[in-house]
Structure 1
Amino acid sequence: MHSRSNALAIAAIACSTGIWAFIFASARFVDGAATAPQICLLRYIGGAITLLIMALSSRQRLSTYRSPSVKGHLARALCGCFGALAIIYASAAMPVVDASGIGLLYVVIMIALSVFIFGDRINGWRAAGIALCCAGAFAMLWSRGSFRSLDLAYIGPASIALLGALLLALEGILIKGLSQNDSAVTVMLHVNVFGLVMMAIPAAVTWHPLGISDITMLLLLGPLAILGQFLTILAYRHADLSLVGPFEYSWLIFAALIGFAFGEIPPTGVFLGGALMIAGGVVLSGRRA
C-alpha cells in the first residue's frame, strides 16, 4: 500500500506540474494583452465559480466547508497568490525556462523546511533521486544559457522569480499542514475566495481592455487550476514533501515544450536534463521510505 501511495502521489504531482506550467505561461498565450494581476483575478473567478458549482451539487450547506484554520488558509492564499503573480510576471519578461528554473528553487527550500517542520526523513535512495532531479534541472538551465547574463534587464525579473520561489515554498508547507485536517474542497474554496479578494485591486489598477476570446480563455484557467490544486493536495497528503517535491522539476520539461511552441528551440542539454529528471522520478517512486 505504501509503494502504491508513493506512485499515486508522484503521478498526481506530475500531472499537476504540467497544468501549472501552462497556467504560469498563460501571459504568452494572450500575447501580453493581459497583465499578471488580470490573469490571476480571472483565474480565481473561474475557479470560484467551479468550486461553487461543486459545493452546491454536493447538496451540503456551504458552512460545511468552513475551516477552523482560517488564518492558515489566508497565509497560504497570500503566498500562493503573490508567488504565482511573481512567476507569471517573470515568465513574460524573460525566457520561460529560465523563469521556471528560478521558480523551482522552491522545491529545495520546501524540502529543507519539511525536514524541520514535518520530520521528513531523507535516506540514501531518496537523496539519490533528489540529486538526479537537481542535476537534470541544472543541465536544462545551463544548456539554455541561463544565469550567464548579468545585465539589469535580466536581474530584475530573475529577482522577482526568486521571491516567487520563496513564497511557493511556504505555500507548499501550508498545503501539507492544512490538507491533513481539511477536505480538498475546503482547502480550495478558501484559497480561491481569498485570492479573488486579494487580486481585485491590483487587477483593477492595471486593467487592460480584453477581447471576449481572451477573457473566456483566462476564465477557463479557473477549472484547470482547480484540477491542479486538487492533484497537488492529493500528492502532498499521500507522501512526504521530500519524495514528491523533486519530481516537480518536471515543470522544466513542460516549460520547454511551451517555449518550443513560441519558437524557443531546446538544445541537446534540455533532453539530457529531462532524462535525468525522469530517472530521478523513477528512483523516488520505486523505493520505500
Structure 2
Amino acid sequence: MSYTGPDFDPAPPRRLRRPLTVAVAALVPGALLGWLVYDTTASDTNASDGRGSQRTAASSPAPAPAPASPTPTPTPTPSRDDDKPGAPDGPLKGKVVVIDPGHNPNNFRHATEINSKVDIGTGRKECDTTGTSTNSGYPEADFTLDVAHRLRALLQQQGATVKLTHDADRPYGPCIDERARVGNQAHADAVVSIHADGSVSGNRGFHVILPGAVHQGAADTRPIVDSSRDLGERIAGNFVRATGSAPSNYVGDGTGLVTREDLGGLNLSTVPKVFIECGNMRDSKDAALLTSGAWRQKAALGLSEGIVSFLRG
C-alpha cells in the first residue's frame, strides 16, 4: 500500500525514536548482511504477473470502474478453509489468528463503493483502496492473498484456528471498519494485515506498522498498544531472519517499525493488531522478491514465526 491514498496519508515527519528492544536490534546488523547477500542473488521471479491495480494518479492507470452497484455492502463469505481446526496437538491449539489480506483484486471495478467513507474514530476515510502494483503489473491484492494463504497453512499446522477477513470471495472490500470488526468479533489473539508499499524507486525494505495510542470517537487503542508493539517487534525480528530482507530504508529510522494513528484498521481494533509492508512494489529489486513464490513462502514463514513467538510468550 502506498503512503498516498485515501486510507494512507503521508506519514508524519521522521523523528528519532528510541532504539528497539535488544532482541530486535541485535537482529538488524545480521539482517543487513543477509540482505546484501540475498540482494545479489535473488532472481526467482514469477513470470505470471497479473493485472495491475493502482492507488494514485502517479501509478499506471487502472481499468475504468464499472457503474456503481445499487446493492448494499455484501457480508463476507468465509473461505472454505476458515475456522478449519488446526493440528489437534499443535502448540497454538485454542488460539485464534485473523489474517487481513490488504485490498481486493476487484476493488477497481467498484470505485463508488470503495470511495464511500466510513468512521475510523479520528475522522472518516474511504472504505478501501485498489492497492498498488509492480511496474510490470503484479497487483498488491494478488500478493497479499498469496501470502495470506501460505501463512494460514503454516499457522494451522501449529494448531491455530485461522480466519481471513476476505478471500477474494466478494465483489469488493471489505471496508476498513469491517476488517477491524472481523478480528474483534473473533476475539482474535493476534491480527496481521498484509500489504506491500507503493513508494518511489530506491526505497526498499519492509516495515511493520503499529497502532498509536488513539482515544477518540469510536476508537480506543490504549488497551492494545503494548501488546501490538510486542507482536510487531517479534514479527519484524523473525521477518528479517526468514527473508533476509532489511528493514525499510525510508521510514522507521532503520528499526523496521513505524507507529501510525491514521489507519482505520488499527484505530478500530480491540485486539492486538499490526500491519506489515513486506516491501516496495515500485522498486525493481524489491519487486523481484515480491513476485517470487519462493520469497513469498519465506515471508509467510517469517510472519508465522513472529506470531507463534508472540502467542507462546
Length-normalised TM-score, structure 1? 0.25
More helix by share: 1
More strand by share: 2
